[in-house]
Amino acid sequence: MIAVTLQQLWARKRRLVGTGLAVVFGIAFLSGTMVLSDTMRAGFETMFGQANAGIDAVVRGEATIGAEMGGQTAQVDAALLDDIRAVDGVATAAAEVEGIAQVVADDGTAIGGDGPPTLGLGWIDDPTLSSYELVEGRAPVGPGEVAIDTATADRGGLVIGDTTVVRTPAPVDVTVVGLVDLAGGTPADGPTFTLFDPTEAGSLLLGRTDVVTRILVAADPGVEEQVLVDRIEPLLPDGTEALTGTALNAELVDDIGADFLDFFERMLLVFAGIALLVATFSIFNTFSITTAQRTQQSALLRTLGATRRQVLGATMLEASVVGVVASAVGLLAGLALATGLTLFMSARGWIVDTGGPVVLGDTVTAAMVVGLVVTVVAGVVPAIRASAVAPLEALRSAEIDRSDTSLVRAIGGALLTAVGLGLLVVAPDVGDPLLPMASGAVATLVGVVVLGPVVARPATGLLGSALLRLRGGTGALARENAMRNPRRTAATASALMVGVAVVTLFTVVGSSVRATLDTEIRRTFGGDLVVMADGFSGSGLDPALAPALQADPAIDRTLALGLGVGLVDGEELVFSVADPAAVQELGGLVVTAGDLADVDRNGIAVSAERAAEAGLTVGDSVTIAFVDGAEEVLTVGALFEAGPGDGLSTHLVATETYAPHAIQRADTTIRILLADGVSVADGRAAVEAITSTHGSPVVLDRDEFSAQVSSDIDGVLAFVYGLLALAIVIASMGIANALSLSVHERVREIGLLRAVGQTRRQLRGMVRWESVLVAVFGTVGGLGLGSLIAWAAIRTTAASEGIGTFALPTTQLAIVLALGATVGILAAVRPARRAARVQVLTAIATE
């Protein structure tokens, strides 16, 4: 039986190519993602290892608050440096000062700030402890001199002797006196480094010179890292800790992983999972068709003595062989893809070159196991179905597909769909809505797939009714071909339906988020202009900018918004920092209790939802611990309704409350209300004249600000669409494979049509329009399913995330529908060509 199976598998190898390709694409995406992620992680390990090669111990503050926004770490007393240098086994030690500093390019634009940090550092003369080396010029000495890394110099068009501005966030006029290279290398579009004189760095980045960010220590030869740390620790005051250089490097890599790599890998793996899900539908359909076409062959084997178990095992062996071969090819393709991406990204300096891709055993195991499991699972149902057919019944010359009339299928699919819809409807009213919403989405998807054959015949008949008038007999035949095997039509369309549903889900959610933000911004934007930093991880806005703007006669009122971090009952809290009176006037807040005017130096305002969760009312006290070790007991002066467009966190404190505890305070945005009679154009000119002396941040009106916020969403969606394109490609391959198998099955029919006068062109058109009907059926189903799940998601997140506007982007969805029809046309190219090449007499003689 094994020999027969392998012989038949080899004989039908061309038919299984499409099945194998679906697995190849999915596994290539999966393995390529894992290899690329491991390569990037190894690159960071190499970079940090080389940059910190001479560091054996680090002394720093224990408290770190606000890790999700870059983090603030407690500072270290600078006087500790002399004590540590006197410790037995210490070869050398140096103080390091670190903060945010963003270099302005020669064209006036800020460099970086769109993800990687813009770092300012104090110069370290000791080459053992410094993570950079001077390649041109000299070290900075005194105020107004800086050295920058070569990548930043190239991006900004800066050379030795140039003058520019560095935002700290206050603008500082500087002269570039040196260029450095990082010891471990740095991506061209990665972090930026600005090096100041050590004393100047303390003044600019920390606001004082009696503390430092950390102390770096190198050991004498033969002294182990942990031994050195053990000798240093008795000298350290409370709130200060020492750790080894090895532990520091591991922590830096873990931080990169938590902030970027892990998220990046998880996101790509989600899309790989979607691609494999779509591939599963394609594989299932292919095996369903091939097993149906071999029903008589299986029956003949049964009559010759083969057991049902042997027939089932033969089909599973076939699936296993396809899965192993396709997984191996997919693994190699993924490795090639990751290699190409690594070379491309390394050449452009986006990642650190590690000498080639990193392939771990986990990647190989995952690729082979997942590919095999997906293929075998997809082939199980067709195999069971084939083995269950009685030999005498299977030997009949024809089989009629009656799946659309199956009462069990109709009732089961309807019940699953109803349960899923019910869960989607009630999810917002449940305490934890995520689980019922996800369960409802899955149940609805499964129910729709089960109902597919039931609705396939009437749906394709309805969709194809226009073909009767537009394409005549060719259209009628295409319509009948799509209708006569509803199980095959539904299975072929299901892969495309899943891909389109995911695309639609993201499209509708993105449109709804844009609509919500636009509505909220227009509702809460109580001004005419807004000043914002160009980038979300840069230096921010100079705190002196808002007072300078307020002093201009063209401006009636300003609202400077910033962020602060602290601990409330041991939990990290990111809160808004602003003048509560200005928030009352320009923030558009709905105050539900108390008065923002009562939120003074010792007060705090809390969102009504967060106050309800914490059991707070007006007059209660909230204790906030800051990274400098100080605590503030603040009185709740007001409760407010928070919205996504107001730019506020769940807590609001006055600027003078947070300022004494901020290490490097900056504003994020400044909203401006112009004076009566001042036009937006004149107001913008007045504002830009002032901002030009404060680092030249971006000035936008209300519409531009709303568009700026929306553009971030559009960028994410463009990335998502690019990844989901793979799922659509796999789905189109499934349609093409099903059509090819169908053409092979209908050779005699094609010959008869040709014999009665059908031309090759008409035959190609018949196959093409059949493909379009199947593709449009799947696309329409995906559009409906994705829109429904998106609607449920918007309702579910309305309370927690404030996304309350459901917006159906008709133009984008129409484009998706058109693309679905295009997929059908492209998928039919090869099957139609094969059908047209069939010889008439040979086809008529075929059984």
State the burial class of residue 259 (Cβ atoms within 10 Å of its Cβ: 0-12, 13-18, 19+).
middle
Q: Are residues 715 and 830 in the same domain?
A: yes
* pLDDT score of 629 more than 80: yes
SS3 240: strand
* pLDDT score of 825 more than 80: yes
* pLDDT score of 427 more than 80: yes
Q: Are residues 591 and 604 in the same domain?
A: yes
CA distance 421 to 418: 5
* pLDDT score of 124 more than 90: yes
656 inside domain? yes
Q: Are residues 45 and 61 in the same domain?
A: no
Q: Residues 478-509: pLDDT tens digits?
A: 888 888 888 878 888 888 888 889 889 988 98
Q: Comparing C-alpha atoms, which of 360, 362, 338, 336 is closest to residue 351?
A: 338
Q: Are residues 141 and 219 in the same domain?
A: yes
For residue 166, the cross-strand partners are 103, 172
DSSP letter (8 states) at residue 168: S
Our measurement of the distance from residue 173's CA atom to the centroid of its chain's CA atoms, rounded to an integer in Å, reads 38
Q: Residues 182-208: pLDDT tens digits?
A: 876 666 667 889 999 999 999 999 988
* pLDDT score of 570 more than 50: yes
Count of C-beta atoms within a 10 Å radius of residue 842: 11
CA distance 130 to 151: 18
* pLDDT score of 16 more than 70: no
Q: Are residues 176 and 255 in the same domain?
A: no
- Rounded average pLDDT over 428-437: 79
Q: Please spell the DSSP secondary structure of 520-547, one letter per residue.
A: HHHHH--SSEEEE-SSSSS--B-TTHHH
Place of tokens 């606001």: 207
Last residue of a domain, one of 694, 714, 739: 694
The answer to whether 769 touches 478, Cβ cutoff 8 Å, is yes
pLDDT in the model for residue 91 = 95
φ, ψ for residue 133, nearest 5 deg:
-135, 140
- Rounded average pLDDT over 419-439: 84
Our measurement of the distance from residue 151's CA atom to the centroid of its chain's CA atoms, rounded to an integer in Å, reads 27
Q: Tokens representing 95?
A: 């103080």
Quickly state the pLDDT bin for 258 (edges 50, 70, 90).
low
Question: Domain tally for the chain?
Answer: 4
pLDDT in the model for residue 134 = 92
337 inside domain? yes
C-alpha distance from residue 114 to each of 190, 339, 655, 712 (Å): 9, 26, 26, 11
Return the HEC string of 122-181: ECCCCCCCCCEEEEEECCCCCCCEEEEEHHHHHHHCCCCCCEEEEECCCEEEEEEEEEEE
445 inside domain? no
* pLDDT score of 529 more than 80: yes
CA distance 286 to 279: 10
* pLDDT score of 733 more than 80: no
Place of tokens 């998106």: 790
pLDDT in the model for residue 270 = 81
C-alpha distance from residue 204 to each of 97, 201, 295, 656 (Å): 10, 5, 80, 20
Q: Are residues 379 and 503 in the same domain?
A: no
Our measurement of the distance from residue 289's CA atom to the centroid of its chain's CA atoms, rounded to an integer in Å, reads 37
SS3 305: coil
Quickly state the pLDDT bin for 398 (edges 50, 70, 90).
very low
434 inside domain? no
Q: Are residues 640 and 757 in the same domain?
A: no
Helices 361-388 + 262-293 axis angle, to 10: 30
* pLDDT score of 402 more than 70: no
The answer to whether 342 touches 356, Cβ cutoff 8 Å, is yes
- Rounded average pLDDT over 366-384: 84
- Rounded average pLDDT over 731-740: 78
pLDDT in the model for residue 688 = 93
DSSP H helical ranges for 348-430: 361-388, 391-394, 407-426
CA distance 787 to 814: 13
Q: Are residues 558 and 494 in the same domain?
A: no
Q: Tokens representing 836?
A: 């047209």
447 inside domain? no
Q: Tokens representing 50?
A: 């080389």
Q: Residues 344-357: pLDDT tens digits?
A: 777 666 666 666 78
SS3 131: coil
pLDDT in the model for residue 212 = 95
Quickly state the pLDDT bin for 387 (edges 50, 70, 90).
low
Q: Comparing C-alpha atoms, which of 553, 552, 573 is closest to residue 564?
A: 573
pLDDT in the model for residue 300 = 61
Last residue of a domain, one of 399, 434, 467: 399
Q: Residues 759-817: pLDDT tens digits?
A: 888 888 888 888 889 889 999 999 999 999 998 888 887 655 556 678 888 888 898 88
DSSP letter (8 states) at residue 675: P
CA distance 280 to 523: 47
Angle at 347 between CA 341 and CA 350, to 5 degrees: 75
Last residue of a domain, one of 202, 224, 244: 244
φ, ψ for residue 418, nearest 5 deg:
-65, -45
Count of C-beta atoms within a 10 Å radius of residue 409: 17
Average pLDDT, the chain: 83
Quickly state the pLDDT bin for 7 (edges 50, 70, 90).
low
Q: Are residues 358 and 234 in the same domain?
A: no
DSSP letter (8 states) at residue 203: I
Q: What percent of the chain has pLDDT over 90?
A: 32
The answer to whether 177 touches 146, Cβ cutoff 8 Å, is yes
Q: Tokens representing 782?
A: 């995906």
Cα distance from N-terminal residue to C-terminal residue, the chain: 25
Angle at 554 between CA 548 and CA 557, to 5 degrees: 65
Quickly state the pLDDT bin for 384 (edges 50, 70, 90).
confident
349 inside domain? yes
* pLDDT score of 259 more than 80: no
Among left, alpha and beta (phi > 0; psi -120 to 50; other), residue 607 is beta
Q: Are residues 621 and 661 in the same domain?
A: yes
The answer to whether 31 touches 335, Cβ cutoff 8 Å, is yes
Q: Residues 303-333: pLDDT tens digits?
A: 656 666 776 777 777 778 888 988 999 999 9
pLDDT in the model for residue 586 = 79
Q: Tokens representing 319?
A: 């699936």
C-alpha distance from residue 331 to each of 13, 18, 26, 367 (Å): 20, 17, 10, 6
pLDDT in the model for residue 94 = 95
CA distance 820 to 823: 5
CA dihedral 603, 608, 609, 613 (to 10 degrees): 60
The answer to whether 492 touches 774, Cβ cutoff 8 Å, is yes
Q: Are residues 679 and 590 in the same domain?
A: yes
CA distance 154 to 146: 15
DSSP letter (8 states) at residue 235: G
pLDDT in the model for residue 200 = 95
Q: Are residues 238 and 91 in the same domain?
A: yes
- Rounded average pLDDT over 534-548: 85
Q: Tokens representing 684?
A: 């913008």
The answer to whether 500 touches 294, Cβ cutoff 8 Å, is no
Q: Comparing C-alpha atoms, which of 618, 589, 614 is closest to residue 604?
A: 618
The answer to whether 756 touches 465, Cβ cutoff 8 Å, is no
The residues near 181 (Cβ < 8 Å, ≥ 6 apart) are 132, 133, 135, 149, 150
DSSP H helical ranges for 746-845: 747-755, 760-801, 810-827, 829-836, 840-845
Place of tokens 């010891």: 183
Place of tokens 């891709």: 357
pLDDT in the model for residue 803 = 63
SS3 404: helix
535 inside domain? no
pLDDT in the model for residue 643 = 66
pLDDT in the model for residue 397 = 46
576 inside domain? yes
For residue 532, the cross-strand partners are 669, 698
Q: Which domain holds residue 63?
A: 54-244
- Rounded average pLDDT over 204-213: 92
- Rounded average pLDDT over 455-462: 89
Q: What percent of the chain has pLDDT over 70?
A: 86
CA distance 257 to 278: 29
- Rounded average pLDDT over 536-562: 90
